[in-house]
Amino acid sequence: RQVVEAAGEAGSLLKTLSPSLSTLLDAPDLDEERQDQLIAAVAMFLVRLTRHLGGLLLCIDDAQWLDEPSRRVLGQLTSELPNTPLFVLTTVRDDDTFVPAGELLHAEVGAALDVQITLDTLGEPAMRSLISTVISGMTGTGELVELLLVRSAGNPFMLLEYLKAIVDAGLVRPRWGQWLVDTERLDQLHLPDNAVDMVVKECPFLGNDERE
């Protein structure tokens, strides 16, 4: 009910965003594309929904991939933020390749950008602590830990994915309050060298062509 009320008369525009909205919003189909109207409708839908709910967090991960209409939606939202309990959180990669995309996003939201936080890689003590936290009882030393530190290079996501792959392969197992590491097979385990390859490796629904 709240979604339908927030959509209002823009139901015909908003239903094109997703199959779920199309089912929920009982509105006639549009005969032609109206991008400008759709952008305005999406922005106002988010504002109205936020006010209906009393507050909303809009989280956009990897915002460097946003297309131009999506950035315009954020731009239109900025004028409503002072009077709307909406918190917009975006993450953007800071590699040289993505700097232009970050600048485009920054230009669109302008003064509405309140806080910028740069997340650096984790230091070695923090990485050792993370390992001990995830696998309770494992100390922050040993051959496995050293391998994880080298391979992950301070990236907590990579560390956790490597650790999961090693555990899934049966190379680490508990025994009477301790963790045993199969060091002989550990050297034979093929682990991807970067985050993209690791993510692809963890997606069994991808065919060989898509993996390549």
Give the model confidence (pLDDT) of 104-131 as tens digits. 888 888 878 888 888 888 888 888 888 8
Does residue 118 contact residue 150 with C-beta atoms inside 8 Å? no
Angstrom CA distances, 37 to 5, 23, 30, 68, 205, stand at: 18, 21, 12, 14, 37
**In this predicted model, which residue has the larger pLDDT, 164 or 71?**
71
| Residue 124 DSSP symbol | H
Question: β-pairing, 56-60 with 172-175?
Answer: unpaired
Identify the helix (H) or strand (E) that includes residue 56: strand 56-60
Does residue 158 contact residue 140 with C-beta atoms inside 8 Å? no
- The predicted pLDDT at position 56 comes to 94
Listed residue (41, 100, 35, 96) closest to 65, CA to CA: 100
Identify the helix (H) or strand (E) that includes residue 179: strand 178-181
Identify the helix (H) or strand (E) that includes residue 134: helix 124-134
Angstrom CA distances, 95 to 9, 91, 101, 120, stand at: 42, 12, 10, 12
Give the model confidence (pLDDT) of 168-201 as tens digits. 878 777 777 667 777 677 666 666 665 556 555 5
Give the model confidence (pLDDT) of 54-103 as tens digits. 999 999 998 999 888 889 899 999 989 889 999 999 999 888 888 888 88
Listed residue (136, 135, 126) closest to 162, CA to CA: 135
